[in-house]
Structure 1
Amino acid sequence: MTSPSASKKLFACLALALTSFGAAAQSKEDATCRTVRFVDIGWTDITSTTALASVVFEGLGYDPKTTVASVPISLAGLKTKQIDVSLGYWWPVQEPSVKPFLDAKTIEKLDPPNLSGAKATLAVPSYEYDAGLKTFADIAKHKDELDGKIYGIEPGSSANAKIQKMIDTNQFGLGGFKLIQSSEAGMLITVDRAIRDKKWVVFLGWEPHPMNIQMKMSYLSGGDEVFGPNYGEARVYTLTNPDFMARCPNAAKLVSNLRFSTQLENNLMVPVMAKVRPADAAKAYLKSNPQVLDAWLAGVKTADGKDGLPAVKQYLGL
Structure 2
Amino acid sequence: MFKTLATLGLAATLIGGSVTATMAQDAKPVKIGWSAWSDAEFVTKLAAKLIKDELGTEVELVQSDVAPLYQGVSRGDLDAMMMAWLPQTHADYYEKVKDKVETLGTVYDGAKLGWVVPAYIPESEIASIEDLKKPEVQKKLSGIVQGIDPGAGLTRLSEKAVKDYGLDDYKLQISSEAGMLTTVDRAMRSEKWFVATSWSP
Q: What TM-score does the superposition give when structure 2 sets the normalisation length?
A: 0.67
Cα distance change of structure 1 residues 197 and 81 upon mapping to structure 2, 3 Å threshold: closer
1:96 corresponds to which of 73, 92, 95? 92
**1:99-143 deviation line (CA, Å, top 9, x unaligned):** 3433x3x321123x1121222211101122555522112222322
Q: Report the equivalent of 2:43.
A: 49
Q: How does 1:139-218 map to 2 (within 5 A)?
A: 139-141=132-134, 142-155=137-150, 159-167=154-162, 171=165, 174-207=167-200
Moved over 6 A (4+): none
Q: Distance in 1 between matches of 2:131 and 2:111?
A: 24
SS of residue in 1 equivalent to 2:121: helix
Which residue does the alignment assign to 1:86?
81
RMSD over aligned Cα, in angstroms? 3.2
Using a 3 Å threshold, how does the CA distance of structure 1 residues 98 and 119 change in structure 2: closer, same or farther? same
**What runs of 5+ residues in structure 2 fail to find an aligned partner?**
1-20
Contact kept, 8 Å, 1:39 with 1:74, in 2: the verdict is no
Q: Distance in 2 between matches of 1:199 and 1:72?
A: 34
Unaligned runs of 5+ in 1: 1-27, 208-261, 263-318
Q: How does 1:19-168 map to 2 (within 5 A)?
A: 29=22, 32=25, 37-44=30-37, 45-70=39-64, 71=66, 73-79=68-74, 81=76, 83-91=78-86, 92-102=88-98, 104=99, 106-111=100-105, 113-128=106-121, 130=123, 132-141=125-134, 142-155=137-150, 159-167=154-162
Number of residues paired by the alignment?
Answer: 176
Deviation of 1:63 (Å):
1.8
Q: Aligned pair in 2 of structure 1 residues 72, 52: CA closer, same or farther (>3 Å)? A: same
2:7 is matched with none
Shift in CA distance, 131/108, structure 1 to aligned 2, threshold 3 Å: same
Which residue identity is paired with 2:115? L
TM-score normalised by structure 1 residue count: 0.46
Shift of 1:49: 1.0
Task: Find the aligned partners of 2:174 and 2:77 in 1 and give their Cα distance.
Answer: 36
